[in-house]
């Protein structure tokens, strides 16, 4: 079995360059690849195209790359609580491709499974469908969407082994599993990294065949985007 372990986030990100297209897992701030994002910020690469559900918040997650003006184009389904994202989008500084959330998820999954395109009813008759092929199936209109093409996918898992097998925890099992294997190189950061054979095969969510590099992350903040407390 091939060992996918690398010893640091620096090794995991070898080969990243200006102008590349990255997929980044997570939903809001849940399950984002914190270590990979911090390293991308420090590398000071630019002209990036980023595919993610949203772009973090102003001072955390992908929001840091936005603040540094490292992202040229953001492909997302939600602007979220990120004021800088909104400002750059409205001012025209940032190219933004807003995509229906289910379509964004399926475009990742299609890339993961080697399907070049698919038809969906989401977006038909709206700006989302402009310039795209449409067809009718069983009397219903559909839009053809192409799978994403990305250079790197950065995902976060709870546990993994050195062969790249992954287990996600709770709602961190969002866009992360769909992005594994959906790019030329998939980098997984995990909270706990075990030897090959250290995971229960019945608990594995993503097999190692879909992961190229894996490393143990550290110092996870796991911020909560919106915290609501009940008065007692």
CATH number at residue 162: 3.40.1080.10
How many Å apart are CA 76 and CA 198, to the nearest integer?
35
The answer to whether the beta carbons of residues 149 and 111 sit under 8 Å apart is: yes
Query: What secondary structure letter does DSSP report for 212?
Result: S
* pTM for the predicted model, two decimal places: 0.94
Q: What is the pLDDT of residues 33-57, one digit of tens each?
A: 999 999 999 998 999 999 999 988 8
In a domain, 38, yes or no: yes
Rounded Cα distance between 63 and 71, Å, is 10
Does residue 54 belong to any structural domain of this protein?
Answer: yes
Q: What is the pLDDT of residue 82?
A: 85
- Residue 189 inside a domain? The answer is yes
Query: Is residue 104 included in any domain, yes or no?
Result: yes
Residue 9's pLDDT band, with cuts at 50, 70 and 90, is very high
Q: What is the domain extent for residue 27?
A: 9-115+147-216
Angle at 80 between CA 77 and CA 86, to 5 degrees: 95
Residue 121 falls within a domain, yes or no? no
Contacts 24+ apart (CB under 8 A), 223-230: 223/29, 223/57, 223/60, 224/29, 225/28, 225/29, 225/30, 225/57, 225/80, 225/81, 226/81
Q: Is residue 131 part of a domain?
A: no
- Round to whole Å and give the CA distance between 195 and 179: 23
Tokens of 83: 């004021």
Which tens digits make up the pLDDT trace of 161-214?
999 999 999 999 999 999 999 999 999 999 999 999 999 999 999 999 999 999
pLDDT-derived band at 26 (thresholds 50, 70, 90) equals very high
87 part of a folded domain: yes
Question: What's the number of domains the chain is made of?
Answer: 1
- Give the 3-state secondary structure of residue 74: strand
Give pLDDT tens digits for 120-129: 999 999 999 9
The dihedral sign for the CA sequence 194, 14, 219, 81 = negative
CA angle 79, 59, 230 (to 5 degrees): 75
Query: 63 lies in a domain?
Result: yes
């Amino acid at each position: 079995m091939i060992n996918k372990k690398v010893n640091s986030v620096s090794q995991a990100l070898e080969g990243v360059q200006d102008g590349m297209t990255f997929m980044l897992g997570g939903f809001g701030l849940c399950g984002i690849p914190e270590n990979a994002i911090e390293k991308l910020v420090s590398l000071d690469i630019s002209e990036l195209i980023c595919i993610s559900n949203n772009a973090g918040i102003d001072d955390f997650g992908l929001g840091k790359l936005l603040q540094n003006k490292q992202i040229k184009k953001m492909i997302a389904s939600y602007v979220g609580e990120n004021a800088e994202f909104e400002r750059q989008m409205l001012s025209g500084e940032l190219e933004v491709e807003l995509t229906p959330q289910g379509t964004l998820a399926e475009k990742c999954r299609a890339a993961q499974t080697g399907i070049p395109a698919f038809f969906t009813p989401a977006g038909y008759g709206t700006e989302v469908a402009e310039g795209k092929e449409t067809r009718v199936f069983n009397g219903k209109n559909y839009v053809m969407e192409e799978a994403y093409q990305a250079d790197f996918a950065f995902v976060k898992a709870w546990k993994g082994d050195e062969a790249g097998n992954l287990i996600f925890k709770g709602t961190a099992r969002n866009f992360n599993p769909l992005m594994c294997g959906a790019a030329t190189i998939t980098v997984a950061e995990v909270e706990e990294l075990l030897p090959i054979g250290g995971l229960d095969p019945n608990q594995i969510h993503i097999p190692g065949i879909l992961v190229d590099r894996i490393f143990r992350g550290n110092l996870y903040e796991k911020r909560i985007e919106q915290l609501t407390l009940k008065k007692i």
